Chains A and B, each alone.
Chain A
């Protein structure tokens, strides 16, 4: 496995919060996989999703556009989309797009889980 190989692990936390641990390059295929799992979690009744990107170094614009579909769906149910452990370049990418207006960003997973679990 290289640092760019995509992997996705999904966990359900306390019925309201879904955790998606993403590793590798987020392109169209990876973005679709994330969006598919996110939709599944939302369909199960989760209202908050935390994407842990600690092992992701690059996300391209097609992958981002697929995350926007997830964000649109979460906003419709007044849920929360959150990210944690962003690399500086991914944080800058999100800042360029203006994502901070609509999402939450945490420095690490424990901070994200603590904040979002409190919303349940």
Chain B
């Protein structure tokens, strides 16, 4: 059984830093057998988690990626920030009809993460928020 591959990185503070995380996940995902189409979905989920961490978190944003190739390929990505934290249970699910009438049209990030990944767990307290996401390659 092959050993899981792991990558840990700290997001640099520069424009488009969230893409760095996406590229790292894509690179590792390709190595363990993910399809390009599935990786594009994972990449967007990771970008969204990073954008939230960069905007609402504080201090360094860390990314931990674990890729497994045994059996069906599996990617686990954690995005960790050190901001004030939040209660994910009170974040409303966006509805397009309401958003079209609203002044604030943002608020899609968490919904996209949940719909694009197989599992999304958020643990948050002041000083540490971790968004842990898992996606498996489907269909062989």
Q: A residues bordering B, Cβ < 8 Å?
A: 4, 25, 27, 57-58, 60-62, 64-66, 68-69, 71-72, 75, 87-89, 92-93, 96-99, 101-102
Once the chains bind, are A58 and B40 in contact (CB under 8 Å)? yes
Q: Quick check: A57 and B96 within 8 Å, CB to CB?
A: no
Please tell me if B115 contacts chain A, counting CB pairs below 8 Å.
Answer: yes
Q: Which residues of A contact B44 (CB under 8 A)?
A: 58, 60, 89, 93
Q: Which residue of B lies closest to A57 (CB)?
A: B40
The interface size bin for chain B is 20 to 34
Near A by CB (< 8 A), chain B positions 1-26 give 16, 18-19, 22
Q: Measured between alpha carbons, how far is A97 from B107 in the docked complex, in Å? A: 11
> In the complex, how many angstroms separate the beta carbon of A119 from the nearest chain B beta carbon?
21
Residue pair B16, A61 in contact (C-beta under 8 Å): no
* In the complex, number of A-B residue pairs with CB atoms less than 8 Å apart: 68
Evaluate whether A89 and B16 lie within 8 angstroms (CB atoms) in the complex, with A68-B100, A75-B100, A101-B96 already known: no
Q: State the CA gap A72–B98 with chains docked (Å).
A: 11
* CB-defined contacts of A27 to chain B, threshold 8 Å: 16
B118 to chain A, nearest CB (A): 14
Measured between beta carbons, the chain A residues less than 8 angstroms from B105 are: 65-66, 68-69, 72
Give chain B's interface secondary structure class.
Answer: helix
> Chain B residues with Cβ under 8 A from A89's Cβ?
37, 40-41, 43-44
A-B contact pairs, 30 of them (CB 8 A): A4-B16, A25-B16, A58-B44, A60-B44, A61-B112, A62-B51, A64-B108, A65-B99, A65-B106, A65-B107, A65-B108, A66-B105, A69-B105, A71-B100, A72-B105, A75-B100, A87-B40, A88-B40, A89-B37, A89-B40, A89-B43, A89-B44, A92-B41, A96-B111, A96-B112, A96-B116, A97-B94, A97-B96, A98-B96, A99-B96
Residue of B nearest to A87 (CB): B40
Contacting A at CB under 8 A, from B103-140, are 105-109, 111-112, 115-116
Instruction: Judge whether B108 and A72 touch: CB under 8 Å.
Output: no
Q: How far is the CA of A89 from the CA of B19 in the complex (A)?
A: 16
Q: Does B48 interact with chain A (Cβ within 8 Å)?
A: yes
In B72-119, the 8 Å CB interface with A consists of 94, 96, 99-101, 105-109, 111-112, 115-116
Instruction: Indicate if B47 sits at the interface (CB-CB under 8 A).
Output: yes
Given known A89-B40, A97-B96, contact A61–B106 (CB-CB < 8 A): yes
